[in-house]
Amino acid sequence: MSLDPSFVGRTYPPTAPYQVGREKIREFAAAIGATDPAHDDPEAARALGHPDVVAPPTFPVIVTMAASRQIVEDPALGVDYSRVVHGDQRFAYTRPVVAGDELVCVNTIEEITNRGGHGFLTTRTDVSTAAGEPVVAVWSKIVVRGEA
Amino acid sequence: MELPIQTFRVTRADLVRYAGASGDFNPIHWSDRTASKVGLPGVIAHGMFTMALVGRAVSAWAAAPDAVVEFGVRFARPVVVPDTDEGTEVVVSAVVKEVTEAGLTRLDITATCHGDKVLSQARATVRAPR
């Protein structure tokens, strides 16, 4: 399907804050088999200089995936989610996510291309604390597959 | 420099657990019926689950759970996970491309399943342990 390139540069309003819970980090770490004590034990995290348990590197996708619904469900853009495939994913961290963080996402459409009947959409999500401290920037490219 | 290869077993149970923990309930990650309907050879792992396993490998190489400062991949090929006790295996290797003056280490990563590359342009930058 074809995506309208005029959406490039569009920035969406900040999302409602996401409260990062200690148990959510523990649950996520257990689900991916990450056994470092800093994901589980606040003392172990503090020994590394963090205020509470540390999230594994891909944890922010929980927050950004929910936030990106702003874009993929924007009726004006018209993405058919049943045809979406994940293309690329990238994270650039200012610091790791830790329990107690209150995270706000600002989504920007960075790139739209159409090629071979497929649409390619790159979004950047700037994740910061509610107080405005930057935490991680997250890029995601999705492919909206055309009708075969 | 090549880093020690790390191998991760992936079963259907892992995908169900990851779906719950991540909130990604797309049925192609748990329903054979849905997977074949959209033309996949079977249920596939979440791309972000594969990336999370690679993240574990990177953290293990860095010997710190909080060392990753940049991490990116392209999902090149799906990881098909059969409904067996053994599931499948993702094999992760890396070479050190560069160590910067600031003490950052850049890794080029390879992740394969049955010998096929499942990621391309997989790279991570880690800082030295504190």
Q: Report pLDDT digits (tens) over A26-46.
A: 999 999 999 999 999 999 999
Structure-block tokens of residue A82: 């049943």
**pLDDT for the residue numbered B52:** 98
Give bridge partners of residue A129 from the DSSP assignment: A103
Q: Which two tokens stand for residue B97?
A: 């491309």
Residues of chain A with C-beta less than 8 angstroms from the C-beta of B48? 58, 61, 86, 89
Confidence band (pLDDT; 50, 70, 90) for B38?
confident
pLDDT for position B130: 64
The pTM for the full model equals 0.96
Count of C-beta atoms within a 10 Å radius of residue A99? 21
- Which chain B residues have a beta carbon less than 8 Å from that of A143? none
A12 and B CB contact within 8 Å: no
Q: Are B47 and A54 inside 8 Å of each other by CB?
A: no
Summarised one tens digit per residue, pLDDT across range B58-112 is 999 999 999 999 999 999 999 999 999 999 999 999 999 999 999 999 999 999 9
Distance between CA atoms of residues A97 and B61, nearest Å: 20
Contacts of A66 in chain B (CB under 8 A): 23
Residue A1's pLDDT is what? 62
* pLDDT band at residue A2 using 50, 70 and 90 as cut-offs: confident
A91 vs B contacts (CB less than 8 Å): 68, 70-72
Question: pLDDT tens for residues A99-122?
Answer: 999 999 999 999 999 999 999 999
| CA–CA separation, B80 and A19 (whole Å) | 33
So what's the pLDDT on residue A146?
A: 83
Can you list the pairs that B15-19 forms with residues at least 24 positions away whose Cβ atoms lie under 8 Å?
Answer: B15/B43, B15/B45, B15/B46, B15/B49, B15/B81, B17/A30, B17/A31, B18/A31, B18/A32, B18/B45, B18/B46, B18/B48, B18/B49, B18/B52, B19/B46
- Residue A65 near chain B (CB below 8 Å): yes
Nearest-neighbour CA in chain B from A8: distance (Å): 21
Instruction: Please determine, for residue A83, whether its predicted confidence score (pLDDT) is greater than 90.
Output: no
B25: pLDDT strictly greater than 70:
yes
